[in-house]
Amino acid sequence: MFKNLALSIALVAVCIGIGAKYYQLQRVPDLPELDLERWWGDGEKPKQEDESIRPFNIVFNETMIEDLKSRLKRRRSYTRPMEGKQSEYGMNTIYLEKILTYWTDKYNFTERARRLNRYPHFKTRIQGLDIHYIRLKPEAKNFKVLPLLLLHGWPSSSKEFDMAIPMLTTPRSGYDFIFEVIAVDLPGFGYSEGTNKPGLSPLQMGIILRNLMKRLGFSKYYIQAGDWGSQAATHLSTVFQDEVLGFHTNMPVSSRPISNLKYVIGSLFPSFIVEDKYRHRMYPLKDLFSYLMRESGYFHLQATKPDTIGAALADTPAGLAAYTLEKIGICSNRDQLHTPHGGLEEINIDDLLDTVTIMWANERITSSMRVYAEAFAWPDVFVVHDIPTYVPTAAINFRYEVVYQPDWILRDKFPNLVHSTTLDFGGHFAAMHTPKALVDDVFESVVEFIKFNEQKTN
C-alpha cells in the first residue's frame, strides 16, 4: 500500500512539475524598449535628414562587366568531383564550369538590366541608409488596390520577385482586389546600403522597413516574405501589430521555447504533432539532424565569422557563384544531390545569374552575410521571438523548405493562422522557383485576412 502511495505521490509531483514548466514556457515576455529612429548611417545623426525619394535605374556598366569577365577568364582549373560523387561534397565543379562559361559568353548583361528596369525603381534614406525598392502601381481600374510589401532573403534581392510582380498586379477572376507592390532590398543586400555599426539584426531591419512604408504613405499594409525577409517581417508584425493587415510567409517558423518542446515531444509521439502524410518532413529527428549537420556549415560560418568568408569571396566572381548557387540548389531540391546540378536546373540560369551579378556588382557578399551574426548577437531579438504575433497570418510550406512546422506549432507564434497550405513541390526560393503557386496562395490568403479583419472590427 505504501509503495503504491509513494508512486502516486511521485506521479503527481512529476505532473505538477511538467505543468509548471509548460506554464513557464507559455509566458509572454514584455516587448523590449526599442529605438525606432536608431541611426545606422556613417557618423552621427544629422539635424536635418534627407527624406527625398529618388528614381533609380539599374545599370550593369561596361567597366564592371569587363572586370568580371576578365576575372572569370583568368580563373584557375578546379579540382574534379570525387569518383562516384556528383554534388554530395558541394558544388560540382564540372557543372560550375558550364555556368561560368555561360556567364562569360552568353549572359546578356544589357538585356538583363533592361528586364529588371521594366519596373520603377527608387531609393530613399531611412535611418541613415539608402534603401532600394521597386514600387509598381497597377493600371487596372474598378479594383481595390492593396499595398503589399515583398521581402526576400539571402543571397537574394528584390530581383527574386521579378516574375511574381506582374501576377500580383494583374486582375484575376474571382477577386475584387489587386496589389500595389513594394519589393525591397533588405539593408546590406542588392542595391540597399549596409551599415558598419553593429546591431542591424532582422528585428532592426523590420523597424527600417516599417519606417520605409511610413515614408511611402502606408499606415497599414500586407506583407509577403521568405527567409531572412520572413524573420524581419515577423518582428515587424510583432512590434507593430496594428499596422500589418496580414502576413503571408513561405518560411513559417515559430522559435518560441514551447515550440521547441513540442518538436521534441513529437519525436516520441509524432502523431500527436503532425499528420502522418507529413511526418517524414520532421521525423525521425536523426534524419533532421543529419540534414542540418550536412547543410548548415555555411550558416554557422556566416553566423560567427562572416567577414572572413566575405573576404574570401569578394575578389572572385567564380567563387561567389559557386558558394551562393550551391546553397540555392540544395534549398530548391535537396533530393538532387546525386545530380551534377544539385537542384539548380529547377531555376532558369539567367535568373540565377541575375542574383549573383547583383551581388557582385554591388559588393554585397559581406554585408548580406552579417545578418546571420547579428540575428544571434542581441537579446532583444530573442525576446521578440517569444512574443506571439496576433496579426492574421498565412503559411505556405513548399516541399523543400529548410524546415517544416505543422500548424499546431506555428500557432504558438501566430495564434491567428487563418490559412495554411502544404505542397509536394517547390523549395526555399519560391518567388523565383514557383511564382504562380506562391502568388495563387497570396490571393487566397488575403481573402482570409480581409474576413478576419472585418470580423475583428465588427
Task: Inform me whether the pLDDT recorded for 26 exceeds 80.
Answer: no
Task: Inform me whether the pLDDT recorded for 12 exceeds 50.
Answer: no
| Catalytic hit among 221, 372, 400, 404 | 372
Task: Inform me whether the pLDDT recorded for 6 exceeds 60.
Answer: no
Residues paired with residue 147 on neighbouring β-strands, in sequence order: 180
Asked if the structure places residue 13 within a domain, the reply is no
Same domain, 146 and 210: yes
Same domain, 133 and 233: yes
Task: Inform me whether the pLDDT recorded for 219 exceeds 80.
Answer: yes
For residues 224-246, average pLDDT: 98
Same domain, 130 and 245: yes
Cα separation, 341 vs 346, in Å, equals 9
Asked if the structure places residue 26 within a domain, the reply is no
Query: Which residues constitute the domain of residue 342?
Result: 55-118+315-362
Task: Inform me whether the pLDDT recorded for 39 exceeds 60.
Answer: yes
Cell readout for 362 is 554591388
Task: Tell me the average pLDDT of the chain.
Answer: 93
- How does pLDDT run across 178-198, given as a tens digit for each residue? 999 999 999 999 999 999 999
Cα separation, 195 vs 40, in Å, equals 6
Phi and psi at residue 254, in whole multiples of 5°? -105, 120
- CA 235 remoteness from chain centre: 13
Percentage with pLDDT > 70 across the chain: 94
Cell readout for 353 is 545569374
Read off the CATH number of the domain in which 388 is found: 3.40.50.1820
Cell readout for 427 is 523549395
Cα separation, 79 vs 363, in Å, equals 27
Same domain, 420 and 449: yes
Asked if the structure places residue 289 within a domain, the reply is no
Output the pTM of the full model. Answer: 0.93
Task: Inform me whether the pLDDT recorded for 47 exceeds 80.
Answer: yes
Same domain, 342 and 214: no
Asked if the structure places residue 262 within a domain, the reply is no
Q: What is the DSSP string of 262-304?
A: HHHHHHHSGGGTS-GGGGGGT-SHHHHHHHHHHH-HHHHHHHH
- How is residue 428 annotated by DSSP? S
Cα separation, 390 vs 370, in Å, equals 29
Beta strands 177-184; 129-136: pairing state? antiparallel
Asked if the structure places residue 126 within a domain, the reply is yes
**Cβ–Cβ < 8 Å for 254, 384:** no
- How does pLDDT run across 423-452, given as a tens digit for each residue? 999 999 999 999 999 999 999 999 999 999
What residue type is assigned to position 274 of the chain? V
Q: What is the pLDDT of residue 24?
A: 55
Phi and psi at residue 48, in whole multiples of 5°? -120, 115
Same domain, 111 and 133: no
SS3 111: helix
Cα separation, 206 vs 226, in Å, equals 13
User: How many structural domains does the chain have?
Assistant: 2
Same domain, 239 and 100: no
| Catalytic hit among 227, 354, 412, 441 | 227
Give residue 15's pLDDT band: very low, low, confident or very high (50, 70, 90). Answer: very low
- Distances, alpha carbon 280 to alpha carbons 32, 275, 286, 400, 405, in Å: 38, 10, 11, 12, 12
Q: What is the pLDDT of residue 16?
A: 46
Give residue 13's pLDDT band: very low, low, confident or very high (50, 70, 90). Answer: very low
**Cβ–Cβ < 8 Å for 46, 133:** no
Asked if the structure places residue 297 within a domain, the reply is no
Same domain, 236 and 186: yes
Same domain, 131 and 199: yes
Q: What is the pLDDT of residue 456?
A: 86
The closest of 25, 417, 19 to 258, measured between CA atoms, is 25
Cell readout for 35 is 529605438
Cα separation, 334 vs 401, in Å, equals 9
Task: Inform me whether the pLDDT recorded for 253 exceeds 60.
Answer: yes
Q: What is the pLDDT of residue 292?
A: 87
**Cβ–Cβ < 8 Å for 260, 269:** no
Q: What is the DSSP string of 329-382?
A: HHHH-GGGTTSSSTTGGGS-HHHHHHHHHHHHHTT-HHHHHHHHHHTTT-HHHH
Contacting residues for 329 by C-beta, under 8 A, at least 6 apart: 87, 336, 341, 342, 343, 344
Same domain, 103 and 216: no
| Catalytic hit among 221, 428, 433, 441 | 428
Does 350 qualify as catalytic in the annotation?
no
- CA 341 remoteness from chain centre: 23
**Cβ–Cβ < 8 Å for 391, 364:** no
Does 407 qualify as catalytic in the annotation?
no
Does 428 qualify as catalytic in the annotation?
yes
SS3 82: coil
Give residue 22's pLDDT band: very low, low, confident or very high (50, 70, 90). Answer: low
**Cβ–Cβ < 8 Å for 421, 396:** yes
Which residue in this structure is represented by grid cell 529605438? 35
- How does pLDDT run across 279-311, given as a tens digit for each residue? 989 899 898 889 988 999 999 999 999 999 999
Same domain, 186 and 209: yes
